[in-house]
Amino acid sequence: MFTLIPVIAVIIGGIISSYRPPGQGLRIIIQHFAAGVVFSAVALQLLPELVGELRIVPIIFGFSLGVVLMIGLKRLIDKIGESKKKKDDGSTGLLMATGIDMFIDGLLVGVSFSVGVKQGVMITIALTIELLLLGLSVASSLIGRGVSRKRVITTTAVLALCVLAGAALGGTLLEGLSGAALEIVLAFATSAFLYLVTEELLVEAHKGPDTSLATAMFFVGFLLMIVIEASAS
């Protein structure tokens, strides 16, 4: 049920962007804020659980697996985008890449709930902001390619289902894990989230002009998760 929150966020992002796409400055601010929120959620929810038992071999294996998978997916998405761009205006490649991205985000939500309800809720909050931004971005790109508003909203809603599918798969397959298996999953999720922050959100954010406000929003997002954690404790 919690997964419906980021799903709705993607749809809302698509609707907003189809009527009034956000400017580059606003997107950069949101990207910094989302990066701070996700980074803080990892530090507060996953790392304490990861170092609790401190099984070195499972941690190294899971962390490395996450890095290799995320880099591999990035290369796959880039190749899909390039191949489709040669055949059409790039819309198909964009949609396939976005669908994969949303599925992985949903999978990470499911992984987080396999650790615990509290961890799952906090990670869901963090990813909701990132997925809202993703919905804004894909809808804005489609509008720029001349796609009709109705089709943009419908397409965004369909893509949002990838989040639900990923979460269902992650939550079902990983339910009830413990011991070394849980350590592997935690390490995998940690590296995947760190990749999301450093190689996606912040890389995209720094493609535009840096401002003091945008930089400050990273720390606002980080602090917000600390406040939420403290209030929930």
Residue 13 in contact with residue 141, Cβ under 8 Å? no
- Let me know if residue 4 belongs to a domain: no
Which of residues 150 and 77 earns the better pLDDT score? 150
Q: Angle at CA 226, nearest 5°, toward 102 and 60?
A: 60
Residue 25 identity: G
- Let me know if residue 7 belongs to a domain: no
Domain count, the chain: 1
- Kindly indicate the confidence band of residue 77, based on its pLDDT and cuts at 50, 70 and 90: confident
Which of residues 80 and 98 earns the better pLDDT score? 98
The pairs formed by 87-93 with CB atoms below 8 angstroms and a separation of 24 or more are 89/145, 90/145, 91/142, 91/145, 91/147
Residue 90 in contact with residue 81, Cβ under 8 Å? yes
- Let me know if residue 161 belongs to a domain: yes
- Let me know if residue 1 belongs to a domain: no
Q: What mean pLDDT value characterizes the chain?
A: 84
Which one, of 51, 74, 53, 73, lies nearest residue 190 by Cα? 51
Size of the chain, expressed as the number of residues it contains: 233
Reply yes or no on whether the pLDDT at 145 is more than 90.
no
- Please classify residue 227 by burial: count the beta carbons closer than 10 Å to its beta carbon, then call 0-12 exposed, 13-18 middle and 19+ buried: exposed
pLDDT per position as a tens digit, 180-217: 888 888 888 889 889 988 888 888 888 888 889 999 99
Reply yes or no on whether the pLDDT at 220 is more than 90.
yes
Provide the residue range defining the domain that includes 182. Answer: 26-232
- Please classify residue 170 by burial: count the beta carbons closer than 10 Å to its beta carbon, then call 0-12 exposed, 13-18 middle and 19+ buried: buried
Interval 215-231 mean pLDDT: 91
Reply yes or no on whether the pLDDT at 103 is more than 80.
yes
Would you state the pLDDT for residue 53?
67
Reply yes or no on whether the pLDDT at 89 is more than 70.
no
Would you state the pLDDT for residue 88?
57
Interval 18-43 mean pLDDT: 87
- Residue 150: Cβ within 10 Å count: 9
- Let me know if residue 36 belongs to a domain: yes
- Let me know if residue 16 belongs to a domain: no
What's the CA gap between 97 and 83, in Å, rounded?
A: 12
- Let me know if residue 65 belongs to a domain: yes
- Let me know if residue 209 belongs to a domain: yes
